[in-house]
Amino acid sequence: MNFAQLQEKIGVRFRDERVLRQAFTHSSYVNEQKGRRICDNERLEFLGDAVLELTVSQFLYKSFPNMSEGEMTKLRAAIVCEPSLVKFAELLQFGELVLLGKGEELTGGRQRPALLADVFEAFIGALYLDQGLEVVFRFMEKYVYPRIDKGEFTQVTDFKSQLQEYVQQENMGDLQYRIIQEKGPAHNREFVSEVLLNDKPLGTGTGRSKKEAEQRAAARALMVLGSN
């Protein structure tokens, strides 16, 4: 994949492709280009980190109106952290585009988690600089928010307790959970849970265990109640 293909894939045409290229330029590459005026991605990474915090914060604030500040902070930290950013970078095959010095390349820098996470942050910084915040939000809606919707980060907070408290406070009725599907072989089982409010389905979730599936179903239910 090249930079033209990446822009086509995400549906964004950069006004200044040098900014995009800079987002993928590692300091090891710059160090080997003596005499050339090339900038690495570290300043863009700094900017992208702040933009990610803002865009994820807004999504959580709007999607989970009953979530406390502390819970939102925990969930945001789980989304804007190295393992999660690496997943986003791998999803978009960012590793293929990174400009590395020979030494970094030989030691497997292209697959190094910290490097990929930094590149994703730098890319977000470049996207913001070149296109503005609205385009960043559209990018997040396509590649990041759906993974939050699916409950990929629910392990950091107890959504079942939050849902129970909310339903009790509002005197909405009775909650119950049920496993509606089991998929995959015994060593790689996947469960689908459904949460019901007064016998009416409110949300579903998938997980590697029944508990995880129920947490994801509860997270989805909270989003449904929040949007209503």
Degrees to nearest 5, angle at CA 221 with 215 and 225: 145
pLDDT, tens digit, 9 for 90 and up, residues 104-115: 888 877 888 999
CB burial readout 169-190, b (16+ within 10 A) else e: eeeeeebebeeeeeeeeeeeee
Active site residue 152: no
pLDDT in tens, 155-175: 667 889 889 988 998 899 999
* Domain membership of residue 129 as a residue range: 3-152
Q: Which of 40, 45, 118, 121 is catalytic?
A: 121
Does residue 105 share a domain with residue 45? yes
Active site residue 121: yes
Global pTM value: 0.77
**Catalytic member of 45, 49, 104, 212:** 49
Residues 163 and 189 in one domain: yes
Please identify, among 134, 152, 170, the residue that sits at the C-terminal boundary of a domain.
152
CATH number at residue 208: 3.30.160.20
